[in-house]
Protein backbone atom coordinates (compact mmCIF):
# COMPACT_ATOMS: atom_id res chain seq x y z
CA UNK A 1 0.00 0.00 0.00
CA UNK A 2 1.51 3.32 -1.02
CA UNK A 3 1.59 6.12 1.56
CA UNK A 4 -0.87 8.85 0.68
CA UNK A 5 0.50 12.23 -0.36
CA UNK A 6 -2.90 13.84 -0.33
CA UNK A 7 -5.49 14.66 2.28
CA UNK A 8 -8.50 12.31 2.15
CA UNK A 9 -10.66 14.95 3.80
CA UNK A 10 -9.80 17.46 1.11
CA UNK A 11 -10.70 14.93 -1.55
CA UNK A 12 -13.98 14.18 0.22
CA UNK A 13 -14.86 17.84 0.39
CA UNK A 14 -13.85 18.38 -3.22
CA UNK A 15 -16.24 15.74 -4.49
CA UNK A 16 -19.05 16.23 -1.99
CA UNK A 17 -22.24 17.29 -3.69
CA UNK A 18 -24.61 18.44 -0.97
CA UNK A 19 -28.28 18.77 -1.78
CA UNK A 20 -28.47 22.55 -1.75
CA UNK A 21 -28.92 25.04 -4.55
CA UNK A 22 -25.34 26.33 -4.51
CA UNK A 23 -23.76 22.88 -4.70
CA UNK A 24 -26.12 21.79 -7.45
CA UNK A 25 -24.78 24.60 -9.62
CA UNK A 26 -21.18 23.49 -9.22
CA UNK A 27 -19.47 22.02 -12.24
CA UNK A 28 -18.52 18.40 -11.54
CA UNK A 29 -14.83 17.49 -11.71
CA UNK A 30 -13.65 16.98 -15.29
CA UNK A 31 -13.03 13.58 -16.82
CA UNK A 32 -9.84 12.70 -18.66
CA UNK A 33 -9.31 10.40 -21.63
CA UNK A 34 -5.69 9.95 -22.68
CA UNK A 35 -5.27 8.05 -25.97
CA UNK A 36 -1.74 7.20 -27.06
CA UNK A 37 -0.66 5.63 -30.34
CA UNK A 38 2.49 3.51 -30.59
CA UNK A 39 5.19 4.54 -33.09
CA UNK A 40 2.88 6.97 -34.92
CA UNK A 41 4.83 9.58 -36.88
CA UNK A 42 4.35 13.33 -37.08
CA UNK A 43 3.01 13.05 -40.63
CA UNK A 44 0.93 9.89 -40.26
CA UNK A 45 -2.55 11.41 -39.81
CA UNK A 46 -4.63 13.72 -41.94
CA UNK A 47 -4.57 16.82 -39.76
CA UNK A 48 -0.76 16.64 -39.84
CA UNK A 49 -0.56 16.41 -43.60
CA UNK A 50 -1.04 12.75 -44.45
CA UNK A 51 -2.90 12.05 -47.67
CA UNK A 52 -2.31 8.30 -47.59
CA UNK A 53 -4.06 7.26 -44.37
CA UNK A 54 -7.67 8.39 -43.76
CA UNK A 55 -8.15 9.48 -40.14
CA UNK A 56 -11.51 11.30 -40.09
CA UNK A 57 -12.06 10.91 -36.35
CA UNK A 58 -8.67 12.26 -35.33
CA UNK A 59 -9.07 15.04 -37.87
CA UNK A 60 -12.46 15.89 -36.35
CA UNK A 61 -10.90 15.88 -32.89
CA UNK A 62 -8.34 18.43 -34.08
CA UNK A 63 -10.96 20.50 -35.91
CA UNK A 64 -13.00 20.71 -32.72
CA UNK A 65 -9.99 21.34 -30.49
CA UNK A 66 -6.30 22.19 -30.49
CA UNK A 67 -3.46 20.77 -32.52
CA UNK A 68 0.09 20.91 -31.15
CA UNK A 69 2.91 21.68 -33.58
CA UNK A 70 5.74 21.29 -31.05
CA UNK A 71 4.71 18.38 -28.82
CA UNK A 72 7.36 15.78 -27.96
CA UNK A 73 7.58 12.38 -26.38
CA UNK A 74 9.95 12.27 -23.43
CA UNK A 75 11.71 9.29 -24.95
CA UNK A 76 12.40 8.13 -28.47
CA UNK A 77 11.21 4.60 -27.62
CA UNK A 78 8.28 3.14 -25.71
CA UNK A 79 9.08 2.56 -22.01
CA UNK A 80 10.80 5.89 -21.23
CA UNK A 81 7.92 7.95 -22.59
CA UNK A 82 5.35 5.90 -20.68
CA UNK A 83 7.28 6.29 -17.42
CA UNK A 84 7.45 10.05 -17.89
CA UNK A 85 3.76 10.29 -18.77
CA UNK A 86 2.49 8.42 -15.71
CA UNK A 87 4.95 9.98 -13.19
CA UNK A 88 5.12 13.55 -14.52
CA UNK A 89 8.90 13.44 -14.25
CA UNK A 90 11.83 12.72 -16.48
CA UNK A 91 11.90 8.97 -16.87
CA UNK A 92 15.51 8.72 -15.71
CA UNK A 93 14.41 9.73 -12.21
CA UNK A 94 12.45 6.49 -11.92
CA UNK A 95 15.19 4.42 -13.54
CA UNK A 96 13.45 3.84 -16.88
CA UNK A 97 16.10 5.41 -19.07
CA UNK A 98 15.69 2.86 -21.86
CA UNK A 99 13.25 0.32 -23.22
CA UNK A 100 12.25 -2.60 -21.00
CA UNK A 101 12.73 -5.58 -23.30
CA UNK A 102 11.04 -8.96 -23.33
CA UNK A 103 14.26 -10.94 -23.52
CA UNK A 104 16.56 -9.15 -21.07
CA UNK A 105 14.53 -7.10 -18.59
CA UNK A 106 11.73 -9.30 -17.30
CA UNK A 107 12.67 -8.54 -13.69
CA UNK A 108 12.74 -4.75 -14.01
CA UNK A 109 10.06 -2.08 -14.13
CA UNK A 110 8.45 1.00 -12.61
CA UNK A 111 8.73 0.68 -8.85
CA UNK A 112 5.54 0.68 -6.80
CA UNK A 113 7.00 3.52 -4.74
CA UNK A 114 6.64 5.86 -7.72
CA UNK A 115 3.55 8.05 -7.65
CA UNK A 116 1.47 8.08 -10.84
CA UNK A 117 -1.31 10.35 -12.00
CA UNK A 118 -3.64 7.41 -11.34
CA UNK A 119 -2.53 7.37 -7.70
CA UNK A 120 -3.33 11.05 -7.26
CA UNK A 121 -6.59 11.10 -9.16
CA UNK A 122 -7.73 7.91 -7.44
CA UNK A 123 -7.12 9.43 -4.02
CA UNK A 124 -9.24 12.38 -5.12
CA UNK A 125 -12.29 10.34 -6.03
CA UNK A 126 -11.59 9.36 -9.63
CA UNK A 127 -12.19 5.98 -11.20
CA UNK A 128 -9.01 5.08 -13.06
CA UNK A 129 -8.23 2.52 -15.73
CA UNK A 130 -5.65 1.54 -18.33
CA UNK A 131 -6.56 -0.66 -21.28
CA UNK A 132 -3.78 -1.58 -23.67
CA UNK A 133 0.00 -1.35 -23.44
CA UNK A 134 1.79 -0.87 -20.10
CA UNK A 135 5.45 -1.71 -20.93
CA UNK A 136 6.77 -0.68 -17.54
CA UNK A 137 7.54 -4.09 -16.11
CA UNK A 138 6.85 -7.75 -16.91
CA UNK A 139 6.81 -9.12 -13.37
CA UNK A 140 3.33 -8.91 -11.75
CA UNK A 141 4.78 -6.75 -8.97
CA UNK A 142 5.14 -3.98 -11.60
CA UNK A 143 1.56 -4.38 -12.82
CA UNK A 144 -0.33 -1.08 -13.26
CA UNK A 145 -2.96 -2.31 -10.81
CA UNK A 146 -0.25 -1.75 -8.17
CA UNK A 147 0.49 1.73 -9.50
CA UNK A 148 -2.83 3.45 -8.92
CA UNK A 149 -4.94 2.10 -11.77
CA UNK A 150 -8.19 0.65 -10.50
CA UNK A 151 -8.57 -1.48 -13.58
CA UNK A 152 -6.09 -2.93 -16.06
CA UNK A 153 -6.72 -5.12 -19.08
CA UNK A 154 -3.99 -5.41 -21.66
CA UNK A 155 -0.38 -6.41 -22.09
CA UNK A 156 2.84 -5.52 -20.29
CA UNK A 157 5.42 -6.08 -23.05
CA UNK A 158 6.55 -3.91 -25.93
CA UNK A 159 4.26 -5.61 -28.43
CA UNK A 160 2.05 -8.64 -28.83
CA UNK A 161 0.52 -10.55 -31.71
CA UNK A 162 -2.67 -8.57 -32.34
CA UNK A 163 -4.71 -11.81 -32.18
CA UNK A 164 -2.94 -14.39 -29.99
CA UNK A 165 -1.49 -11.74 -27.64
CA UNK A 166 1.87 -13.52 -27.45
CA UNK A 167 4.88 -11.23 -27.02
CA UNK A 168 7.99 -11.27 -29.19
CA UNK A 169 9.77 -13.62 -26.77
CA UNK A 170 6.99 -16.21 -27.07
CA UNK A 171 5.24 -15.49 -23.75
CA UNK A 172 1.50 -15.24 -23.29
CA UNK A 173 0.77 -11.60 -22.48
CA UNK A 174 -2.83 -10.55 -21.87
CA UNK A 175 -3.73 -9.56 -18.32
CA UNK A 176 -6.71 -8.62 -16.20
CA UNK A 177 -5.19 -6.83 -13.24
CA UNK A 178 -2.12 -8.91 -12.26
CA UNK A 179 -3.45 -12.22 -13.57
CA UNK A 180 -2.87 -13.68 -17.02
CA UNK A 181 -6.35 -13.83 -18.55
CA UNK A 182 -6.61 -14.80 -22.23
CA UNK A 183 -9.19 -12.93 -24.28
CA UNK A 184 -10.11 -13.31 -27.93
CA UNK A 185 -10.03 -10.30 -30.17
CA UNK A 186 -7.93 -7.89 -32.20
CA UNK A 187 -5.90 -5.78 -29.78
CA UNK A 188 -7.08 -2.43 -31.14
CA UNK A 189 -10.71 -3.47 -30.88
CA UNK A 190 -10.26 -4.79 -27.33
CA UNK A 191 -8.70 -1.52 -26.16
CA UNK A 192 -11.68 0.39 -27.50
CA UNK A 193 -14.24 -2.15 -26.26
CA UNK A 194 -13.01 -1.99 -22.68
CA UNK A 195 -12.80 1.78 -22.86
CA UNK A 196 -16.44 1.97 -23.90
CA UNK A 197 -17.48 -0.33 -21.07
CA UNK A 198 -15.52 1.73 -18.55
CA UNK A 199 -17.21 4.95 -19.67
CA UNK A 200 -20.63 3.29 -19.38
CA UNK A 201 -19.88 1.99 -15.89
CA UNK A 202 -18.41 5.26 -14.59
CA UNK A 203 -20.54 7.85 -16.36
CA UNK A 204 -21.90 9.13 -13.06
CA UNK A 205 -18.54 9.78 -11.38
CA UNK A 206 -15.29 11.48 -12.41
CA UNK A 207 -12.92 9.19 -14.26
CA UNK A 208 -9.53 9.03 -15.91
CA UNK A 209 -9.25 6.60 -18.80
CA UNK A 210 -5.82 5.82 -20.27
CA UNK A 211 -5.90 4.02 -23.63
CA UNK A 212 -2.37 3.21 -24.85
CA UNK A 213 -2.93 1.52 -28.22
CA UNK A 214 -0.58 -0.96 -29.86
CA UNK A 215 -1.14 0.43 -33.35
CA UNK A 216 0.76 1.02 -35.51
CA UNK A 217 3.66 -0.80 -33.78
CA UNK A 218 4.73 -4.10 -35.31
CA UNK A 219 3.80 -6.90 -35.80
CA UNK A 220 2.08 -5.43 -38.83
CA UNK A 221 -1.35 -7.05 -38.73
CA UNK A 222 -4.63 -5.67 -39.97
CA UNK A 223 -8.00 -6.64 -38.47
CA UNK A 224 -8.59 -9.35 -41.08
CA UNK A 225 -5.24 -11.09 -40.72
CA UNK A 226 -4.39 -14.23 -38.73
CA UNK A 227 -2.19 -14.89 -35.68
CA UNK A 228 1.53 -15.31 -36.38
CA UNK A 229 2.77 -16.11 -32.86
CA UNK A 230 1.95 -18.83 -30.38
CA UNK A 231 3.15 -19.54 -26.86
CA UNK A 232 6.74 -20.69 -27.02
CA UNK A 233 7.13 -19.57 -30.62
CA UNK A 234 7.39 -15.87 -31.39
CA UNK A 235 7.48 -16.21 -35.17
CA UNK A 236 8.44 -13.29 -37.37
CA UNK A 237 8.95 -10.24 -35.16
CA UNK A 238 7.48 -7.78 -37.65
CA UNK A 239 4.83 -10.11 -39.00
CA UNK A 240 4.48 -12.03 -42.24
CA UNK A 241 2.86 -9.49 -44.52
CA UNK A 242 4.97 -8.20 -47.37
CA UNK A 243 2.74 -5.18 -47.95
CA UNK A 244 3.76 -3.43 -44.74
CA UNK A 245 2.51 -0.03 -45.92
CA UNK A 246 -0.99 -1.44 -46.44
CA UNK A 247 -0.95 -3.18 -43.06
CA UNK A 248 0.27 0.00 -41.37
CA UNK A 249 -2.58 1.92 -42.98
CA UNK A 250 -5.15 -0.64 -41.81
CA UNK A 251 -3.82 -0.47 -38.25
CA UNK A 252 -4.04 3.32 -38.06
CA UNK A 253 -7.52 3.28 -39.62
CA UNK A 254 -8.80 0.85 -36.97
CA UNK A 255 -7.32 2.95 -34.17
CA UNK A 256 -8.94 6.05 -35.65
CA UNK A 257 -12.30 4.28 -35.70
CA UNK A 258 -11.81 3.48 -32.02
CA UNK A 259 -11.16 7.14 -31.23
CA UNK A 260 -14.45 7.97 -32.91
CA UNK A 261 -16.29 5.36 -30.86
CA UNK A 262 -14.87 6.71 -27.60
CA UNK A 263 -15.88 10.28 -28.46
CA UNK A 264 -19.35 9.08 -29.47
CA UNK A 265 -19.75 7.32 -26.11
CA UNK A 266 -18.87 10.53 -24.28
CA UNK A 267 -21.45 12.39 -26.32
CA UNK A 268 -24.08 9.68 -25.73
CA UNK A 269 -23.74 10.04 -21.97
CA UNK A 270 -23.65 13.84 -21.99
CA UNK A 271 -20.00 13.90 -20.86
CA UNK A 272 -18.41 15.61 -23.81
CA UNK A 273 -18.29 19.15 -22.43
CA UNK A 274 -16.79 17.96 -19.16
CA UNK A 275 -14.10 15.71 -20.62
CA UNK A 276 -10.60 16.56 -21.77
CA UNK A 277 -9.60 14.16 -24.54
CA UNK A 278 -5.90 14.12 -25.34
CA UNK A 279 -4.30 12.15 -28.17
CA UNK A 280 -0.57 11.68 -28.76
CA UNK A 281 2.11 9.19 -29.77
CA UNK A 282 4.79 7.61 -27.60
CA UNK A 283 7.62 8.42 -30.03
CA UNK A 284 8.26 9.05 -33.69
CA UNK A 285 7.71 6.52 -36.45
CA UNK A 286 10.25 4.03 -37.67
CA UNK A 287 11.14 3.77 -41.36
CA UNK A 288 7.68 2.36 -42.13
CA UNK A 289 5.88 5.49 -40.97
CA UNK A 290 5.84 9.16 -41.91
CA UNK A 291 7.65 11.70 -39.74
CA UNK A 292 6.54 14.65 -41.86
CA UNK A 293 9.94 15.46 -43.30
CA UNK A 294 11.66 15.62 -39.92
CA UNK A 295 15.15 14.19 -39.59
CA UNK A 296 15.47 10.81 -37.90
CA UNK A 297 13.24 8.01 -36.70
CA UNK A 298 12.16 6.21 -33.56
CA UNK A 299 15.11 5.68 -31.22
CA UNK A 300 17.03 8.73 -32.43
CA UNK A 301 17.70 12.12 -30.86
CA UNK A 302 16.61 14.05 -33.96
CA UNK A 303 13.14 15.63 -34.18
CA UNK A 304 11.76 12.65 -36.08
CA UNK A 305 12.43 10.49 -33.04
CA UNK A 306 10.35 12.50 -30.58
CA UNK A 307 8.32 15.31 -32.17
CA UNK A 308 4.91 13.67 -32.50
CA UNK A 309 1.28 14.54 -33.23
CA UNK A 310 -0.82 15.68 -30.28
CA UNK A 311 -4.42 16.86 -30.09
CA UNK A 312 -6.38 18.26 -27.15
CA UNK A 313 -10.16 18.53 -27.27
CA UNK A 314 -12.47 19.93 -24.59
CA UNK A 315 -15.64 21.67 -25.84
CA UNK A 316 -16.19 24.99 -24.13
CA UNK A 317 -12.66 25.11 -22.74
CA UNK A 318 -10.47 24.67 -25.82
CA UNK A 319 -11.21 26.77 -28.89
CA UNK A 320 -12.13 24.68 -31.94
CA UNK A 321 -9.68 24.70 -34.82
CA UNK A 322 -6.89 26.18 -32.73
CA UNK A 323 -3.19 25.40 -32.80
CA UNK A 324 -0.38 26.00 -30.36
CA UNK A 325 3.34 26.17 -30.86
CA UNK A 326 4.10 25.77 -27.15
CA UNK A 327 6.83 23.19 -26.58
CA UNK A 328 5.30 20.37 -24.55
CA UNK A 329 6.34 16.90 -23.40
CA UNK A 330 4.62 13.71 -22.27
CA UNK A 331 5.43 14.47 -18.63
CA UNK A 332 3.26 17.60 -18.81
CA UNK A 333 0.00 15.63 -18.94
CA UNK A 334 0.15 14.68 -15.22
CA UNK A 335 0.27 18.28 -13.92
CA UNK A 336 -2.17 19.38 -16.61
CA UNK A 337 -4.81 16.96 -15.33
CA UNK A 338 -4.23 18.02 -11.73
CA UNK A 339 -4.55 21.68 -12.69
CA UNK A 340 -7.75 21.04 -14.66
CA UNK A 341 -9.23 19.13 -11.70
CA UNK A 342 -8.24 21.77 -9.15
CA UNK A 343 -5.95 19.37 -7.30
CA UNK A 344 -2.77 20.65 -5.69
CA UNK A 345 0.14 18.25 -6.06
CA UNK A 346 2.24 17.59 -3.00
CA UNK A 347 5.60 19.35 -3.49
CA UNK A 348 7.29 16.07 -2.50
CA UNK A 349 6.39 14.74 -5.94
CA UNK A 350 8.90 17.15 -7.50
CA UNK A 351 7.16 17.03 -10.86
CA UNK A 352 9.29 18.05 -13.84
CA UNK A 353 6.26 18.56 -16.06
CA UNK A 354 4.19 21.73 -16.09
CA UNK A 355 0.49 22.37 -16.63
CA UNK A 356 -0.50 23.04 -20.21
CA UNK A 357 -3.84 24.55 -19.20
CA UNK A 358 -2.72 28.14 -19.98
CA UNK A 359 -1.97 27.04 -23.54
CA UNK A 360 -5.10 24.91 -23.86
CA UNK A 361 -7.44 27.64 -22.70
CA UNK A 362 -5.39 30.45 -24.25
CA UNK A 363 -5.62 32.29 -20.94
CA UNK A 364 -1.99 32.58 -20.01
CA UNK A 365 1.50 31.48 -20.89
CA UNK A 366 3.38 28.26 -20.24
CA UNK A 367 6.61 29.34 -18.59
CA UNK A 368 9.78 29.16 -20.68
CA UNK A 369 12.05 26.29 -19.69
CA UNK A 370 15.03 24.31 -20.89
CA UNK A 371 14.09 20.74 -21.83
CA UNK A 372 16.19 17.61 -22.15
CA UNK A 373 16.34 14.26 -23.91
CA UNK A 374 18.65 11.31 -23.38
CA UNK A 375 17.93 8.44 -25.75
CA UNK A 376 21.09 6.42 -25.25
CA UNK A 377 23.19 7.19 -28.27
CA UNK A 378 22.05 10.81 -28.33
CA UNK A 379 21.36 13.61 -25.88
CA UNK A 380 19.86 17.05 -26.41
CA UNK A 381 18.94 20.26 -24.64
CA UNK A 382 16.31 22.64 -25.97
CA UNK A 383 15.76 26.30 -25.07
CA UNK A 384 13.31 28.20 -27.20
CA UNK A 385 14.19 27.39 -30.80
CA UNK A 386 17.76 26.43 -29.93
CA UNK A 387 18.54 22.72 -29.79
CA UNK A 388 21.94 21.43 -28.77
CA UNK A 389 22.56 17.83 -29.88
CA UNK A 390 25.30 15.35 -29.04
CA UNK A 391 25.34 12.07 -30.93
CA UNK A 392 27.55 9.21 -29.78
CA UNK A 393 29.25 6.70 -32.06
CA UNK A 394 27.43 3.46 -32.81
CA UNK A 395 27.66 1.11 -29.85
CA UNK A 396 28.27 3.92 -27.36
CA UNK A 397 25.72 5.17 -24.84
CA UNK A 398 25.73 7.51 -21.86
CA UNK A 399 28.05 10.48 -21.62
CA UNK A 400 29.68 11.98 -24.72
CA UNK A 401 33.07 10.67 -25.77
CA UNK A 402 35.84 12.32 -27.81
CA UNK A 403 34.38 10.57 -30.87
CA UNK A 404 30.95 12.13 -30.33
CA UNK A 405 29.59 14.76 -32.68
CA UNK A 406 27.79 17.85 -31.42
CA UNK A 407 25.87 20.63 -33.05
CA UNK A 408 23.57 23.56 -32.35
CA UNK A 409 20.43 23.99 -34.45
CA UNK A 410 18.00 26.87 -34.84
CA UNK A 411 14.70 25.04 -35.26
CA UNK A 412 12.89 28.22 -36.28
CA UNK A 413 14.92 28.22 -39.49
CA UNK A 414 16.01 24.59 -39.77
CA UNK A 415 13.36 22.22 -38.46
CA UNK A 416 14.94 19.39 -40.45
CA UNK A 417 18.21 19.85 -38.54
CA UNK A 418 20.30 19.88 -41.68
CA UNK A 419 22.76 22.67 -40.89
CA UNK A 420 24.33 23.30 -37.46
CA UNK A 421 24.99 26.94 -36.68
CA UNK A 422 27.70 28.78 -34.78
CA UNK A 423 26.68 30.37 -31.49
CA UNK A 424 29.34 29.57 -28.93
CA UNK A 425 27.57 31.22 -26.01
CA UNK A 426 24.26 29.39 -26.53
CA UNK A 427 26.02 26.09 -27.17
CA UNK A 428 28.02 26.46 -23.96
CA UNK A 429 24.89 27.39 -21.99
CA UNK A 430 22.93 24.37 -23.21
CA UNK A 431 25.86 22.01 -22.78
CA UNK A 432 26.25 23.12 -19.14
CA UNK A 433 22.49 22.80 -18.53
CA UNK A 434 22.50 19.30 -20.06
CA UNK A 435 25.39 18.16 -17.87
CA UNK A 436 23.68 19.56 -14.76
CA UNK A 437 20.47 17.74 -15.65
CA UNK A 438 22.30 14.45 -16.21
CA UNK A 439 24.03 14.86 -12.85
CA UNK A 440 20.64 15.30 -11.13
CA UNK A 441 19.75 11.65 -11.79
CA UNK A 442 23.22 10.14 -12.18
CA UNK A 443 22.88 8.15 -8.94
CA UNK A 444 19.61 6.52 -10.01
CA UNK A 445 20.20 3.00 -11.25
CA UNK A 446 18.69 2.75 -14.70
CA UNK A 447 16.54 -0.39 -14.94
CA UNK A 448 17.23 -0.85 -18.64
Residue 27 is predicted with a pLDDT of: 84
- pLDDT tens per residue across span 312-341: 999 999 999 999 999 999 999 999 999 999
pLDDT given at position 19: 42
Measure the CA–CA gap between 311 and 144, rounded to whole angstroms.
25
| Contact (Cβ atoms closer than 8 angstroms) between residue 360 and residue 102 | no
In which band, very low, low, confident or very high, does the pLDDT at 400 lie, cut at 50, 70 and 90? low
Q: At 194, is the secondary structure helix, strand, or coil?
A: helix
- CATH code linked to domain 371-440: 3.30.1120.10
Whose CA is closest to 137, among 172, 191, 101?
A: 101
The values of phi and psi at residue 285, to 5°, are -80, 155
- Check residue 14 and give its pLDDT: 44
Q: Which residue has the higher pLDDT, 238 or 199?
A: 199
Give the gyration radius of the chain's Cα atoms. 21
pLDDT at 106 exceeding the cut of 80: no
pLDDT of res. 23: 47
State the pLDDT at residue 324.
98
4 band by pLDDT with thresholds 50, 70 and 90: low
Predicted local confidence at residue 142, as pLDDT:
96
72, 78, 194, 208: the active-site residue:
78
pLDDT tens string 9-45: 444 444 444 444 444 457 899 999 999 999 999 999 9
Mean pLDDT of the chain: 93
In the prediction, which pLDDT does 2 show?
64
Contact (CB, 8 A) for 305 and 292: no
What is the rounded end-to-end Cα distance, in angstroms, of the chain?
Answer: 25
What tens digit of pLDDT does each residue of 137-146 get? 999 999 999 9
Q: Is 135 a catalytic residue?
A: yes
Active-site annotation holder among 72, 105, 135, 217:
135
pLDDT at 346: 92
Does pLDDT of 237 surpass 80? yes
- The shares of helix, strand and coil residues in the chain, as percent rounded to the nearest 5, are 30, 20, 50
Q: Where are the domains of the chain?
A: 30-367, 371-440
CATH superfamily entry for domain 30-367: Alkaline Phosphatase, subunit A (3.40.720.10)
**pLDDT at site 17:** 40
Which run of H or E residues covers position 127?
strand 127-133
Q: Are the C-beta atoms of residues 31 and 267 closer than 8 Å to each other?
A: no
For the stretch 151-195, pLDDT in tens is 999 999 999 999 999 999 999 999 999 999 999 999 999 999 999
* Surface-to-core class of residue 21, CB atoms within 10 Å of its CB (0-12 exposed, 13-18 middle, 19+ buried): exposed
**Mean of pLDDT values over 248-273:** 99
191-235 per-position pLDDT tens digit = 999 999 999 999 999 999 999 999 999 999 999 999 999 999 988
- For the cut 80, the answer to whether the pLDDT of residue 47 exceeds it is yes
Amino acid sequence: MKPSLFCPLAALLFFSFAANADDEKKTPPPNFVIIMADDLGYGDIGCYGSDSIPTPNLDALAKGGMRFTDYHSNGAVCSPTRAALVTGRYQQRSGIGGVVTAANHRDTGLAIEETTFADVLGENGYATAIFGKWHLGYDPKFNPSHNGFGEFIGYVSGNVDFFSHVDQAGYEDWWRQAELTPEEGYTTHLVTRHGLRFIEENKDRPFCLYLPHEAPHYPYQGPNDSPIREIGHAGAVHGEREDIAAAYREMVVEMDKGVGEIVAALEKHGLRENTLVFFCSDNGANQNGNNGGLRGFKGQIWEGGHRVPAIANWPGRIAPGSTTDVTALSMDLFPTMLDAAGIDADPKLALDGVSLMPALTQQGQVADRTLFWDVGRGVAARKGDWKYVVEMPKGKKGKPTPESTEGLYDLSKDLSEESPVENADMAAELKAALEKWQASWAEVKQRS
